[in-house]
Amino acid sequence: MSLGKHHRLWVRFICTIVCVLMIVSMSGNREAHAAGITMTLPNASFEEVGTGIPNWNIHPTFGTDTATVSDVRAYTGAKSMKMVDTGSVISLARVSEKISISPTEQVAYTATAYAYIEQGSIDVYLIFYNGTTETRATPASVTPTLNQWNKRSITAEAPVGATEVAVMIYSGLGSITTAYIDDVSVGKTVKNSGFETTPLSDTWTVSGAATSTTVKTGGTSSLKLDDASSVAASYAESTDVPVSSNARVSAAAKVYVSSGDTGISMHLRFKNAAGTVIKEVENVFSGTTSQWIPLTISATTPNVTGAKTVSVYFTTKTTATTVAYVDDVTLDTPIEYNLGTQIVNNPLDGAVFGKDASGSYDLMYVGSSGYPSKFVVYDARTGELLDDQNLDQIEAVWGMTVASDQSVYLGTANKRALYRYVPGTVSISGGIKIITGSSLVKTTLDSGLNVIWDVSAGSSGNIYGGTATDGKAFRYNPTSGVTVLNSNLAIVDGLAHVRSIAYASDTEVFMGMGPTSNATIIRFDPTTSAQSTISPSGYGSTYVLGLDYIPNGSDSKLFAKLSSEPLIVINPTTGVVDASLGNVDSIGVSKKHPTDDKVYYTKGTHLYVYDISAKTQTDLGDVGGKAAGYTFLTDAGTTYLYAPLSSGKILKYKLAATPTIDISTSFTIPDSPTKIRSLVKGPGDHIYTSGYLRGGLSVYHPDAGLLTRNRGAGQAENMTTIGNNLYLGIYPGAWIKKYDTNSSWNDTTNPSLLFQDIAASPNFQDRPFGMLADTALNRLYVGTVASSGKLSGSFTVYDLTTSTRITTVPDIVEDQSIISLAYKNNKVYGGSSVYGGIGSTANPSVTEGKVFTWQTTSSNTLPVPQYVPVSGRKVISDLIVGPDGNIWGLAEGNSSTDPSRNLTADLFIFDPNNPDAAHTTIYANKFTSTGNVSWQGGKMVVGKDGNVYVSIGGKLYAVDASSATKDAVMLVSTGVSLLTADANGDLYYVKYETNLYKYDK
């Protein structure tokens, strides 16, 4: 039974002794930067196990109440430290291992921890040691925010003579606390970062600069740069902080320009042991005057002998007068955080029924897509869960069947994996039903049999399967193994998918094919390889998504689910269509009624019956969900139709003169992680992710560290934002939806459907990878990949003010998909891919991806201007407006002209006023790449520091936009895909398919 019929192809301490504190800051803002130039702190994330909490100790003075390693919650990883302070007259503390520090270094130290506080309060302290003498730096009091992860930070200078430092996590005397602590860090940073200590000259080298109490963001003062003339610049430089070579370093500050030119800039100065600057990078302030604006910068320490320190330097221009203020300077090492699985689903992809090994219990088997997918076993009559198996690295279960020996077979979406489950025996232990003695074994099919679309049970323990991408079918027997039925050629030339399969007899197997212009079913004899074709005309279906063979003597039938929507009933002997049943959304149809010529299925939430003899259907009533499988069971002499429903209920329909509908029995499918398909920064500066195959939209809130999960909406290939609305491009069918984030989520009405981006036949569209919002004109621009078997993508302009489609241009780049879009100066620039929809064959004469130009405020003449930006590249995977105002692009795909470039990708930049080859600069082989790119490839964002960050080929890069050669530094070396950034400039990307990661800059 094919389960994919409707799926288409595809995160007060009261101190009793005097504490010497020179500089202290405390932050409840989760987005404060990391703990300086980070030093190694053992077991900082509490992932190590052992006696007590490894590398964390009690303090001899303060409370020793309960602290344990917990796996209840974690900021990253799997564990955290749980602290339970049970009394209001006692305290609780845990102290990290001591770290050696140098008394001669002119630095301050920052400690950071993430705290999830359920009640009470948690603070972070720095303890400095000079032999047995300790000095504690006390944080400022902060009112905790409960039930979310918050960042706690403290910065202090070491007292004279200190040789060691440690971090203490503390719950004070007056606090009854329950809290979780994770990701503790400590590092070196600049002295007097908040300009609170005087004289300023002890910690900063200045000219034309002084502390000011007039304008500040916190504390009592800030740094004032007063360039009274346009002759000499005003500047301030921090002390030098030690840094290792080839390390990524970031700095941030808040800047307020009150008058004059806005040309203040922040620099990172890397120096050798002699104090000579060997590398300097800058970021120029470009924000609004008379308000505090964050300014950031990132760079990599030169990988050369002698690179020892870095300083932060602020300066004004020598050619203009400026009065500006600087505050809250940070210097740190970017840290990569795993924010965890963002999307989970538990879809009912399909179900079949069988018996346990004793034959005493009726079992219901469910396949559920995810990563990993799940195979779940229930008592069919009660819905009790008996077995829950993960299918490692499997994305979906497309086909399920129960063989004649009661084994269950699963055809899966990837890894060429066929699973066989042999059920054990159900028994009752301690009043609970259990199943023991079961086995689950995977067989890997040969290359070319990549996707197992469907499986169907035959005789003698045999099962038959249909596959992609070579259009082959196979027979499997647990004794003899796999036999490819058409080993030499595809069953029908050009049809790459045996999309559905139905066993009739050992000499007659039916196969639903695709892609094709009209529904095609092959009648195949496995014993002789003889075949004939059934081609019902007039439906225009690309695929036959599902087949059910219903034996009924001389009046046997084929029920074929077509991709164009109807379920048709066919006489397999004559090929004549008896009926066309619209809106059938159940997964397959039931077997024939035990005594009548009737089969059952659902439409929406209603159960229907089809009378084979009369060729008519009847609505039997609302059952509350769509069916995903069927069986007939007898209770006390009465036969019932059983079916699991999408509502999580098991339908028990009484087959009698007076039928009854019973949906009182529930079953629950365990959640499973879902792959992330698209990633954007959306309304509210939140990070939005959409799921692959089963959809779902999750929202990560950077300021609160919270995750909101919404189910439904479908698989968004890409998303874009205007105001409070998030626009989603949904596959299949290129549905364009609007999610109003100011209103509550409702998969039926919010997101709401704007339009379906389908051009006239034969250019049906499926995948909206190009999604671009134009805030000036309040428009959406959508670029799409065509549906299965088709080549020609389209470009659509939609007016959000009038809710009308202005135009759709099919095939705007001949025989290519439109997958990337960028906007600058009343023009949209589109990037294309030579690859069309699934199963299509690229036009041999189309070998290179192109860039086209679309005028937004004037008329366009077709064909629109277009050119090849990089010779030999097949895919223009991303386009953005770079920090220089030019259009930046990524060119990928196996090179048709130079195979040595297949595992690289190019950066190209062109002048938006002159989009042509003559005005395009190519930085060849700038990045490594998988080479195997069709639609979704590299992504770019412009950082707040003026760098361009690139996710491509599983890696994350920083590109120095100011360098003539656009120097690229690899930040993360493996597993990276997609990319976006929040308002603070921190980066977000996907790793390991399901997890959202943050690169805290």
pLDDT band at 28 (very low <50, low <70, confident <90, very high): very low
* Residue for token pair 């990045």: 927
The residues facing 515 across adjacent strands are: none
Which tokens belong to 450?
């990549």
What's the CATH architecture for 200-333?
A: Sandwich (2.60)
pLDDT band at 277 (very low <50, low <70, confident <90, very high): very high
Least confident range from 346-350, 613-617, 983-987: namely 983-987
Q: Per CATH, is 757-937 categorized as 2.130.10.10?
A: yes
pLDDT of 10 higher than 70: no
pLDDT of residue 1: 66
pLDDT band at 13 (very low <50, low <70, confident <90, very high): very low
Residue ranges of the domains in the chain? 26-189, 200-333, 757-937
The residues facing 68 across adjacent strands are: 82
List all residues 6 or more positions away from 518 whose beta carbon is below 8 Å from its beta carbon.
535, 536, 537, 539, 540, 541
Question: Taking Cα atoms as reference points, which of 218, 214, 198, 206 lies closest to residue 327?
Answer: 218
Q: Do domains 26-189 and 200-333 have the same CATH topology?
A: yes
Burial-class residue 974 by CB neighbours within 10 Å (0-12, 13-18, 19+): exposed
Please give the average per-residue pLDDT across 393-421, as a whole number. Answer: 96
pLDDT of residue 304: 77
Q: How distant is the alpha carbon of residue 644 from its chain centre?
A: 30
Measure Cα distances from 642 to 363, 612, 635, 997 in Å.
Answer: 11, 20, 11, 44
Q: Which residues in 731-768 are b (16+ Cβ under 10 Å) and which e?
A: bbbbbbbbbbbeeebeeeebbeebbebbbeeebbbbbb
The neighbour count for residue 284, using CB atoms within 10 Å, is: 14
CB 908 within 8 A of CB 889: yes
> DSSP labels for 864-906?
PPEE-SSTT--EEEEEEE-TTSSEEEEEES--SS-GGGTTEEE
* Residue for token pair 């149809």: 589
Which tokens belong to 120?
């009470």
d(CA 158, CA 135): 9
Longest pairwise C-alpha distance within the chain: 102
Which tokens belong to 813?
């780049």
pLDDT of residue 488: 57
What is the phi/psi pair of residue 824, to 5°? -160, 130
Cis peptide before 199 (omega within 30 of 0): yes
pLDDT of 22 higher than 80: no
Measure Cα distances from 296 to 267, 579, 705, 727 in Å.
Answer: 9, 67, 22, 30
pLDDT of residue 321: 78
pLDDT of residue 20: 32
CB 290 within 8 A of CB 258: yes
Model confidence pLDDT, tens digit, residues 593-650? 999 999 999 999 999 999 999 999 999 999 999 999 999 999 999 999 999 999 999 9
DSSP 3-state of 832: strand
Please give the average per-residue pLDDT across 521-539, as a whole number. Answer: 91
Q: Which residues in 82-113 are b (16+ Cβ under 10 Å) and which e?
A: bbbbeeeebbbbbbbbbbebeeebbbbbbbbb
Please give the average per-residue pLDDT across 953-961, as a whole number. Answer: 95
pLDDT of residue 635: 93
d(CA 548, CA 551): 10
* Residue for token pair 């997958």: 819
The residues facing 256 across adjacent strands are: 325
d(CA 828, CA 806): 15
**Can you give the three-state secondary structure of 133-195, one letter per residue?**
EEEEECCCCCCCCCCCEEEEEEEECCCCCCCEEEEEEEECCCCCEEEEEEEEEEEEECCCCCC
Least confident range from 143-147, 248-252, 716-720, 895-899: namely 895-899
pLDDT band at 173 (very low <50, low <70, confident <90, very high): confident
d(CA 673, CA 693): 12
In which element (H, E) is residue 939 found? strand 939-942
Please give the average per-residue pLDDT across 19-37, as a whole number. Answer: 43
* Residue for token pair 């196996």: 894
Q: What percent of the chain lies above the pLDDT cut of 90? A: 75
pLDDT band at 306 (very low <50, low <70, confident <90, very high): confident
Least confident range from 110-114, 119-123, 158-162, 336-340: namely 336-340
Please give the average per-residue pLDDT across 786-809, as a whole number. Answer: 94
Which residue stretches of 506-641 are H helix? none
CB 499 within 8 A of CB 543: yes
Model confidence pLDDT, tens digit, residues 756-778? 866 544 458 999 999 999 999 99
Please give the average per-residue pLDDT across 196-205, as a whole number. Answer: 93
d(CA 568, CA 47): 57
Kindly state the DSSP code that residue 369 receives in the 8-state scheme. -
Residue with more model confidence, 566 or 322 = 566
Model confidence pLDDT, tens digit, residues 692-715? 988 999 999 988 888 999 999 999
pLDDT of residue 469: 79
CB 685 within 8 A of CB 702: yes
CB 780 within 8 A of CB 856: no
Q: Residue 789 is which amino acid? A: G
Measure Cα distances from 675 to 49, 396, 450, 688, 994 in Å.
Answer: 30, 11, 19, 13, 4
Which tokens belong to 99?
């770290």
CB 895 within 8 A of CB 873: yes
Question: Taking Cα atoms as reference points, which of 449, 442, 535, 532 lies closest to residue 485?
Answer: 449
Least confident range from 85-89, 429-433, 987-991: namely 85-89
DSSP 3-state of 224: strand
pLDDT band at 229 (very low <50, low <70, confident <90, very high): low
Q: Residue 68 is which amino acid? A: T
pLDDT band at 14 (very low <50, low <70, confident <90, very high): very low
- Quick one: CA dihedral 457, 458, 463, 468, positive or negative? negative
pLDDT band at 163 (very low <50, low <70, confident <90, very high): very high
Which tokens belong to 320?
């203009």
Q: Residue 898 is which amino acid? A: D
Model confidence pLDDT, tens digit, residues 210-227? 999 999 997 899 999 988
CA dihedral 139→140→145→149, nearest 10 degrees, is -30
pLDDT band at 17 (very low <50, low <70, confident <90, very high): very low
Sheet holding 765-774, edge to edge: 765-774, 779-786, 794-799, 804-810
**Can you give the three-state secondary structure of 923-955, one letter per residue?**
EEEEEECCCCCCCCCCEEEECCCCCEEEEECEE
| CATH for 26-189, options being 3.30.420.10, 2.60.120.260, 3.10.290.10, 3.40.109.10 | 2.60.120.260
Least confident range from 158-167, 334-343, 471-480: namely 334-343
Kindly state the DSSP code that residue 461 receives in the 8-state scheme. T
Model confidence pLDDT, tens digit, residues 485-505? 976 555 666 688 999 999 999
pLDDT of 98 higher than 60: yes
d(CA 814, CA 810): 9
Per DSSP, the chain holds a count of helices (H) and strands (E) of 0, 82
pLDDT of 4 higher than 60: no
d(CA 483, CA 418): 13
pTM of the model: 0.88
Q: What percent of the chain lies above the pLDDT cut of 70? A: 94
Model confidence pLDDT, tens digit, residues 830-869? 999 999 998 788 899 999 999 999 999 999 999 999 999 9
* Residue for token pair 């050369």: 304
What is the phi/psi pair of residue 383, to 5°? 80, 10
DSSP 3-state of 750: strand
Cis peptide before 732 (omega within 30 of 0): yes
Least confident range from 8-17, 422-431, 845-854: namely 8-17
The residues facing 444 across adjacent strands are: 417
CB 120 within 8 A of CB 195: no
Please give the average per-residue pLDDT across 814-830, as a whole number. Answer: 97
Least confident range from 169-173, 666-670, 689-693, 911-915: namely 169-173
d(CA 163, CA 170): 22
> β-strands 222-227, 248-260: how paired?
unpaired
The beta strands (E) that lie in 521-592 are given as: 521-524, 531-534, 544-550, 557-562, 567-570, 577-581
pLDDT of residue 271: 94
- Per 3-state DSSP, the chain is made up of helix, strand and coil in percentages (nearest 5) of 0, 50, 45
pLDDT band at 319 (very low <50, low <70, confident <90, very high): low
Most confident by average pLDDT, 70-74, 175-179, 800-804: 800-804
Please give the average per-residue pLDDT across 387-392, as a whole number. Answer: 96
